[in-house]
Amino acid sequence: MIAALRQRLRALAGEGAGAGRVRALGPVAGRRPRGIAGSFGPPPQHGGWGAGAGAVPAPARGLARLGFHLDEGVLVRRLVVRVGQQAAGGLDAVAPEVVALLAGDLAWAAADPAAVWYFDTETTGLAGGTGTIPFLYGWGRRIAGGMELEQWLLADLGAEELLVDRALRRLAGPGGVVTFNGTAYDLPLVRTRAILARRERDWRGPLHLDLLPLVRRLFGYRLRRCTLAEVERQLLASGRSDDLAGSEVPERYRCFLRDGDGSHLAEVLTHNERDIVSLGRLLAVLGRQAAGAVQEPGDHLPLARFYEARGATASALRAYATALDVVAPPLDRVSARHHARLLRREGRPAEAAELWRMLWERWGDLEAAEALCVDHEWRRGDLEAALGVAERALGVAPPALADRFARRIWRLERRRGRGSAARRRDAGPEGSRAPAVPPPWSAWLPGGASYEAWQAARRRRAPATSGTWAAPTTAPREGDRPVALSA
């Protein structure tokens, strides 16, 4: 049995006496050969695609009319798209340092702009995973006055390995890749196809810039949806009234596979072209935004938060200050709050206190009230001012925040009372003890001498005993914590 298997293997390899018989069998009847050449017939030797009507089958002639030609076994279409330099959505060059700021990766500062590819795919579905196949790989890069585009078509599902291998070489190149939602969709899909084609070892994560998170961060507050079509309408001042809907793309490809008519893909190719050009224009808009040339006054606040997230503190402080002056309510209050928080983290408490005071006096902001209490108590040492702010805040605070201000008031009153008792004791005769006096807050704080008593009374766990107070047997010590009442 083993000898027979060896003889058959030698015959399949073209060796031995059975080689001629095996070669004579030829392809299996009814089975189409794999690859582009098997799908559309062998390419002509002279003249390229469409050199002779008799030499090129009908499907290949249809693709030739669309501009495709074979390049290393892959159907490739190349074209140049001219883009005007409009102020709203032109294809301006973006400085490498600005791209690095957008990406949050210093590697982009050293990337060659001519080697950066804008990448978008058209697939057989939107679900992702192993059942979704990218059949059109769209690539574009900036040139003078426009973009140079390449489109790679998977005309035969059995020839995907060549397409995937070429895509992996492109992604592993020296330049970076710019996508729209490529982090969650395009690049994971290419990696999945690489795994299925047994090319996983060739996968190297490229230098990647995904524009979708940047659109959400910088413009999400004024976009209904962060889709590419909505971005084109609102940010790029363009629309697609005659464009093919993305949901119809898989069906067009299925029609092409069914009857081999390349005309089904004409609108799909145009759709992909517009997507790639929009990526280049969108990067230019984001670059101008990151450089400080905002489109609308309300853009200053998200730009300041973007600067803060990227660690550009000086730019963030300037943007917050501008936003406080120009943005409309309620974003002005949000701008002041973020500005004060950043000043506090940067160790500038005096400037932060001015913003907290404005927030408290103008809008009654409870976070600002608490920050003012901390500033008065610990930085300025003014217990009376801290107590006054806390009492006013307790009067307007909702139940969820009332506990915090009541606890602060109780602690501030305790500190103030302890200081008064110490001063009286120091002023009295030697050896004498100052008489126990009720704490000053017992007259207005229901429940008596502790925050826990007030809290229990407020929650109806114990009856309120306002004004009743008994002198403690021992003087409280620094660091003592009151014991909560049992339910």
Average pLDDT over every residue of 425-450: 52
Instruction: Quote the strand ranges of 369-453, DSSP E.
Output: none
What pLDDT is recorded for position 36?
42
Structure tokens at 81: 């798209």
What pLDDT is recorded for position 422?
53
Chain segment 59-68, per-residue pLDDT in tens: 555 798 999 9
What pLDDT is recorded for position 391?
92
Residue 30 has pLDDT above 60, yes or no: no
Residue 100 has pLDDT above 50, yes or no: yes
Residue 158 has pLDDT above 50, yes or no: yes
Average pLDDT over every residue of 446-455: 59
Q: Of 290, 325, 353, at which residue does a domain stop?
A: 290
Residue 463 to residue 485: CA distance in whole angstroms: 12
Q: Answer yes or no: do 284 and 209 share one domain.
A: yes
How large is the angle between the packed helices 300-310 and 211-219, nearest 10 degrees?
130
Q: Of 266, 290, 314, at which residue does a domain stop?
A: 290
Domain assignment present for 79 = yes
With cut-offs at 50, 70 and 90, classify the pLDDT of residue 474.
Answer: very low
Residue 195 to residue 215: CA distance in whole angstroms: 31
With cut-offs at 50, 70 and 90, classify the pLDDT of residue 449.
Answer: low
Q: Of 290, 325, 357, at which residue does a domain stop?
A: 290
The mean-pLDDT minimum among 111-120, 283-292, 364-373, 465-474 falls in: 465-474
266 closest CA partner among 48, 133, 37, 67: 67
Average pLDDT over every residue of 396-420: 85
Residue 115 to residue 109: CA distance in whole angstroms: 13
Residue 448 to residue 468: CA distance in whole angstroms: 6
Residue 458 has pLDDT above 70, yes or no: no
> pLDDT above 70 covers what percent of the chain?
73
Structure tokens at 74: 């892959």
DSSP string, 429-468: -TT--PPP---GGGGTSTTSSSHHHHHHHHTTSS---TT-
Q: Answer yes or no: do 414 and 278 share one domain.
A: no
Which residues lie below 8 Å from residue 314, measured CB to CB, with a gap of 6+?
none
Residue 23 has pLDDT above 90, yes or no: no
Which residues lie below 8 Å from residue 165, measured CB to CB, with a gap of 6+?
197, 199, 202
The mean-pLDDT minimum among 28-42, 161-175, 188-202, 312-326 falls in: 28-42
Q: Return the H-helix or E-strand segment holding 134.
A: strand 134-143
Average pLDDT over every residue of 364-384: 95
Residue 378 has pLDDT above 60, yes or no: yes
Q: Answer yes or no: do 74 and 199 share one domain.
A: yes
Structure tokens at 428: 């009295």
Q: Answer yes or no: do 351 and 233 share one domain.
A: no
Average pLDDT over every residue of 107-118: 92
Q: Are 103 and 95 in contact (CB under 8 A)?
A: no
How large is the angle between the packed helices 451-458 and 399-427, nearest 10 degrees?
150
Structure tokens at 52: 């002779």
Peptide bond into 398 cis (omega under 30): no
| CATH code for the domain in which residue 127 is found | 3.30.420.10
Q: How big is the chain, counted in residues?
A: 487
Q: Are 124 and 250 in contact (CB under 8 A)?
A: yes
Q: Answer yes or no: do 305 and 284 share one domain.
A: no
Domain span including residue 413: 297-429+444-458
Instruction: Give, in degrees to the nearest 5, the angle at Cα 122 between 118 and 128.
Output: 105
119 closest CA partner among 66, 188, 64: 188
In this structure, are strands 208-210 and 177-179 parallel, antiparallel, or unpaired?
parallel
Residue 161 has pLDDT above 80, yes or no: yes
Q: Answer yes or no: do 124 and 191 share one domain.
A: yes
Residue 361 to residue 287: CA distance in whole angstroms: 38
Residue 345 has pLDDT above 60, yes or no: yes
What pLDDT is recorded for position 239?
78
Q: Answer yes or no: do 302 and 184 share one domain.
A: no
Higher confidence at residue 175 or residue 21?
175
What pLDDT is recorded for position 129?
80
Domain assignment present for 388 = yes
With cut-offs at 50, 70 and 90, classify the pLDDT of residue 130.
Answer: confident
With cut-offs at 50, 70 and 90, classify the pLDDT of residue 327.
Answer: very high
Q: Are 284 and 146 in contact (CB under 8 A)?
A: no
Residue 287 to residue 96: CA distance in whole angstroms: 10
Average pLDDT over every residue of 142-153: 92
Q: Answer yes or no: do 157 and 102 share one domain.
A: yes
What pLDDT is recorded for position 128?
77
Instruction: Give, in degrees to the nearest 5, the angle at Cα 225 between 222 and 228.
Output: 105
Query: How many alpha carbons lie under 13 Å from residue 180 in its C-beta half-sphere?
Result: 26
Q: Which long-range contacts (CB under 8 A, 24 or more apart) does 390-396 make?
A: 393/366, 393/369, 396/364, 396/366
Average pLDDT over every residue of 421-436: 51
Domain assignment present for 153 = yes
What pLDDT is recorded for position 62?
78
With cut-offs at 50, 70 and 90, classify the pLDDT of residue 83.
Answer: confident
Distances, alpha carbon 455 to alpha carbons 166, 348, 394, 449, in Å: 70, 35, 13, 11
Q: Burial level of 486, CB count in 10 A (0-12/13-18/19+)? A: exposed
In this structure, are strands 74-82 and 117-123 parallel, antiparallel, or unpaired?
unpaired
Total domain count for the chain? 2
